[in-house]
Amino acid sequence: MRKEYIVLSRQDSVARNNSPFVMLKIANEEGNLSVSVFDVPKTGGPKVGQLVTFISMRDYQGKKSASNMDMVVGKFPSEDHPLYHLVPRPVKREVWDATMRQLLSFCQSEDLANFIEQQAATLYPLYSRYPAATSVHHAFPGGLLNHTWQMLHLLEGVYPVYPYPDDIKVERIILSILFHDWGKVCEYNVEGERTENGYLLGHIYMSANYLNNLLRDFFTEVDGGRLSEGSKREINFIVHCVLAHHGTLEFGSPVLPCIPEAQLLNYLDNISAKSDIFNTTGNMEKAFALNTTVVKG
């Protein structure tokens, strides 16, 4: 039976015989599933948000596959199409701004609050175009915005009930959330394809380096033209959060979280990323990033 789906994410790869294939995460009203489609050229096949119809699909021990000849690529659906809403869309500007207003009310430093407000306004249109990953989580145009907003939104609820509030400088966490994945605008293009810099440098280094330069310019101006020792130390604390946001060395962190803000950032990052994996993984489908099989309730 021919079934129509919408593409949630796409990851290009090469089989052992060097033939190209794509791993698609697709969805329709029945749910989500992953399928490997073989003989799809890197520059061909469907993109995220595009409709696809499968004439046939093979299932071997729960792993679904098809050939390029089994797949018919359709159009990008209009908003009235029944599958349109299955692809997440970037959060609206008014939602982003409302979250930022709440977080800015927690800030103690007026200078940093103004700086955060300016940066958040600049990042919104940029992040709304880029994915947060190729396939693991928030792998759709604007996924970077939604992932960042989810972490900020979580912080709205967590910070007021944090057990030791005096140990936290909330400005550090807000800034590190805003910029922890900034490097992904260099690591990927808007269609989620990895760039040369993604391989050479990686998003953690690019994020930390960009934020470090940004903060040095900001604090130099605040300090009257010469960076103070206190400002240098504060910059190091904020940049440390970005460097440590993957939490452990085996997950790519160049350093381990050494301050409570960095640890909290790692937890918020994991909540956003892993909840998205649960949400987009099909029933009884293996989620390798979670090392478990997802069961829908």
**Contact status, residue 147 vs residue 177, Cβ threshold 8 Å:** no
**Residue 230: exposed, middle, or buried by beta-carbon count in 10 A (0-12, 13-18, 19+)?**
exposed
Are 102 and 65 in a shared domain? no
For residues 134 and 232, membership in a common domain is answered with yes
For position 34, what pLDDT does the model report?
Answer: 87
Write down the number of H helices and E strands in the chain.
9, 9
CATH number of the domain that residue 49 is part of: 2.40.50.140
pLDDT at 14: 83
Separation of alpha carbons 50 and 188, rounded Å: 19
Look at residue 239 in the predicted model and tell me its pLDDT: 98
- For 266, the domain range is 93-280
- H/E run at residue 121: helix 110-127
Domains contained in the chain, number: 2
Q: Answer yes or no: is 295 within a domain.
A: no
Q: Is residue 294 part of a domain?
A: no
Q: Which two tokens stand for residue 35?
A: 């399928």
Among 86, 110, 133, the domain-final residue is 86
Q: Kindly state the helix (H) or strand (E) to which residue 38 belongs, with its residue range.
A: strand 31-38
Residue 285 lies in a domain: no
Is residue 116 situated within a structural domain? Answer: yes
Instruction: Please report whether residue 42 resides in a domain.
Output: yes
Same domain, 128 and 27: no
| Cα dihedral 46→49→55→60 (10° resolution) | 90
Within-domain flag for 144? yes
Same domain, 126 and 78: no
Same domain, residue pair 196 and 146: yes
* 149 and 249 housed in the same domain: yes
This prediction's pTM: 0.86
Residue 193 lies in a domain: yes
| Spatial contact of 270 and 247, defined as CB atoms under 8 Å apart | yes
Question: For helices 110-127 and 143-158, what crossing angle results, to 10°?
Answer: 150
Please give the backbone phi and psi of residue 225, each rounded to the nearest 5 degrees, phi first: 105, -10
Pairwise CA distance, residues 132 & 130, whole Å: 7
Same domain, 106 and 226: yes
Question: Looking at the structure, do residues 195 and 214 belong to the same domain, yes or no?
Answer: yes
Do 70 and 203 fall within a single domain?
no
Is 289 domain-assigned?
Answer: no
Q: Which of 59, 86, 113 lies at the terminal end of a domain, its last residue?
A: 86
Return the pLDDT at 244. 97
- In angstroms, rounded to a whole number, what is the distance separating the alpha carbons of residues 268 and 153? 10
pLDDT in tens, the chain (297 residues): 688 999 988 888 887 888 888 889 899 998 888 899 998 887 788 888 899 999 989 988 778 999 999 999 999 999 999 999 998 889 999 999 999 999 999 999 999 999 999 999 999 999 999 998 877 788 888 999 999 999 999 999 999 999 999 999 999 999 999 999 999 999 988 777 788 999 999 999 999 999 999 999 999 999 999 999 999 999 999 999 999 999 999 888 999 999 999 999 999 999 999 998 888 887 887 887 888 988 988
Residue where a domain stops, chosen among 86, 101, 118: 86
228 lies in the same domain as 121: yes
The length of the chain, given as a count of residues? 297
pLDDT number for residue 1 = 66
Judgement on whether residues 61 and 76 belong to the same structural domain of the protein: yes
Domain check: are 161 and 79 in the same one?
no
